[in-house]
Amino acid sequence: MDGHGRPPMSIFTVDDYVPFPPQIRRKPGKGRLLLQISLLVFALLALCGAASEIYFLMKVESRLSATQDLIEENAGAQKMLSRQGFRDGTPSAHVTGLSVKDTSPSSPLQWEHKLGLAFLHKVEYNNGSLVCPKTGLYFIYSKLQLRLASCSKDLENPFFSHRVIRRSSSVDIPLIEDLRRFCDTQGSSIWRGNSFIGGSFMLAKDDKVYVSMSQKHLIRAQEDTMTFFGMFMIWTTP
């Protein structure tokens, strides 16, 4: 004690730097784990979707390439039938020529849809038209065998128009057309020719497609392998 009877004072020193305690690492909780799993699942689904789309596009491209070959070959009835989709259950139809009775240029051509090579598979026939059963991409084709016994030198209109027309909600929309001259050797005794048109088009359910011909008197339909009309589905919308 000091002279006044008090105990001596305690003296403390304070360090300028005091380290903080180390952080405690926490294990990831269930919420973060579920989030990581969800992201992984979404990534896998995206990859599967991309792979499916690539396969689908390759399949469509293959079918379009095959149908383009048919156009370039000016294919006959037997080859068209061999490529038809009815073998794997897809909608398809092939109808064959009939003798022309109505020569009006605006009226649809009529077809044999029951006998011979003709058939309907999930497609209806209605007064010259083929009725689309479901929305999708279709290959549509038509071939006409043509003949004229005599080509007059004073022929007024030596051109014909062969068209495939889509009728949707009572509106007619031409899809493909072959506009050509016939009797190009005027003064000859007989003229013979043919017209083949085809292409791939999107159709909606219940759309109708039909064939028109401006010079119907040229059509020869004695053989069902020479004059015909048809369609088959390439793919349908999901």
**Whole-number pLDDT of residue 202:** 95
Query: 103 is written with which tokens?
Result: 């020569």
What are the distances in angstroms from CA 99 to CA 52, 179, 190? 48, 22, 20
Q: Is the pTM of this model over 0.85?
A: no
| Average pLDDT across the chain, whole number | 78
How high is the pLDDT of residue 128? 96
Token representation of residue 28: 């990831």
Find how far residue 68's CA is from the centre of its chain.
Answer: 13
| pLDDT on residue 6 | 60
pLDDT band at 152 (very low <50, low <70, confident <90, very high): confident
Q: Name the 3-class secondary structure at 150.
A: coil
pLDDT of residue 51: 59
Q: What is the pLDDT of residue 23?
A: 58
Dist. CA 104–CA 214, nearest whole Å: 8
Residue with tokens 């039909």: 210
List, for residues 168-199, the tens digit of each pLDDT value. Answer: 988 999 999 999 988 876 556 788 899 999 98
CATH of domain 75-236: 2.60.120.40
Strand, helix or coil at 128?
coil
> Sorting pLDDT into bands at 50, 70 and 90, what band is 73?
low
**16 CB-near residues (< 8 Å, 6+ apart):** none
Taking residues 133-150, what's their average pLDDT? 92
Which tens digits make up the pLDDT trace of 88-117?
678 999 999 998 888 888 899 999 999 988
Q: How confident is the model at residue 230 (pLDDT cuts 50, 70, 90)?
A: very high
Compute the C-alpha angle 13/16/20, nearest 5°. Answer: 115
* Residue 57, pLDDT score: 54
> Which backbone phi and psi does 141 adopt, to 5 degrees?
-145, 155
Task: Give every CB contact of residue 57 below 8 A, 6+ residues apart in sequence.
Answer: none
Identify which has the larger pLDDT, 48 or 166: 166
- Stronger pLDDT, 58 or 202, i.e. the higher one: 202
Give the pair of three-digit tokens for residue 167. 């009728």
Q: Is 88 helix (H, G, I), strand (E, B) or coil?
A: helix
- Phi and psi (nearest 5°) for 15? -75, 135
Q: What is the pLDDT of residues 4-20, one digit of tens each?
A: 566 555 555 555 555 55
Buried b (16+ CB within 10 A) or exposed e, 153-166: eeeeebebebbbbb
Query: What number is the average pLDDT over the span 135-154?
Result: 88
Q: Tell me, what DSSP letter sits at residue 5? A: S
pLDDT at 58 exceeding the cut of 60: no
SS3 76: coil
* C-alpha to C-alpha distance for 125 and 108, rounded to whole angstroms: 12
Looking at residue 226, its pLDDT comes to: 87
**Can you list the alpha helix ranges (DSSP code H) found in the chain?**
30-73, 77-82
For 29, which DSSP code?
A: -
